[in-house]
Structure 1
């Protein structure tokens, strides 16, 4: 897994990258009550605001971690946003994207670097 400074995790699965938010981010947000995901087929650029999350504490935007195309979204978390609080780094992934340049992942943090970052 790779991690961003915006508390997203990325898991490479072939030429597709699965993206979600970290357990740390979910804990900081508190009880999540609403999630709006991007459209499948949307082309996004790194740092585009593509997901809206609302919790009892705050509203946040999730930025695209890389350039690419959204190929699948996790409708289960739209129907049950609390899933993110329960399994942020597992079943509660946000979207899958086909990335133009997988080498861009090299610039992101690994798990040890992320733990130092949030430490």
Structure 2
């Protein structure tokens, strides 16, 4: 069984993505990244991306991760904070530690494309 199936397929992933964005948008340290962002569209892209990387049938057609994040000036600290919210979301959805680790590995593989600002001094 693929991670996609264990996460509840597209419906389960969509629910997790909704919960995740509630967490990050509600985080005062991260909220500014989402000002003037079409969250409905962003959630749809994120869902498609996660469906694809977890073994599902969707094909992600969004922008390249580096291009999508380059103007945001994301710090290493904020990246880690977002990952923490993702782990909390997946944990609250009953996702196994092994599957959370696999999703985390996939994210960490793209850290250099997403983090575009140095850590604060």
TM-score w.r.t. length of structure 2: 0.25
Structure of greater Rg:
2
Greater helix share, 1 or 2? Answer: 2
TM-score w.r.t. length of structure 1: 0.25
